Amino acid sequence: MGISKAGRFSRKRTGGRRKQSKKKRAYERARPASHTKIGSRRVRLVRARGGKYKFRALRLNHGNFVWRSEQATKKTRVTDVVFHPANNEYVRTKTLTKSAIVTIDA
């Protein structure tokens, strides 16, 4: 069936199945997570709605980081994932996500 974001496939509150009222639509399609790792830059293009393209990062080793105390922004190298509140496996596999705490080469 694939990955879907549509809530139509969930069951009723009573546990029963919902009747199919319409077919699957392309805009309801979800894509698998990229699980960006630390390494040399590898980015893939993913076609989006309207023919535009999004950049899907598979491996990254640089990023923009902000030091609020010094009002400075620098592009620096990411060296390691130290902590991740969602899953310890992300630390072990060095997966970069939004809430990952990383060490940088600054």
State the Cα–Cα distance between residues 85 and 13, nearest whole angstrom. 31
Residue-wise pLDDT for 29-73, tens only, equals 888 999 999 999 999 999 999 999 999 999 999 999 999 999 999
- pLDDT exceeds 60 at position 3: yes
The C-alpha angle with vertex 21 and arms to 16 and 26, in degrees rounded to 5, equals 115
pLDDT of residue 1: 54
Poorest-pLDDT segment among 4-8, 20-24, 94-98:
4-8
Separation of alpha carbons 40 and 78, rounded Å = 11
pLDDT in tens, 67-95: 999 999 999 999 999 999 999 999 999 99
- Phi, psi angle pair for 10, to nearest 5°: -80, 160
Q: Report pTM.
A: 0.75
CA 52 from chain centre, in angstroms, equals: 19
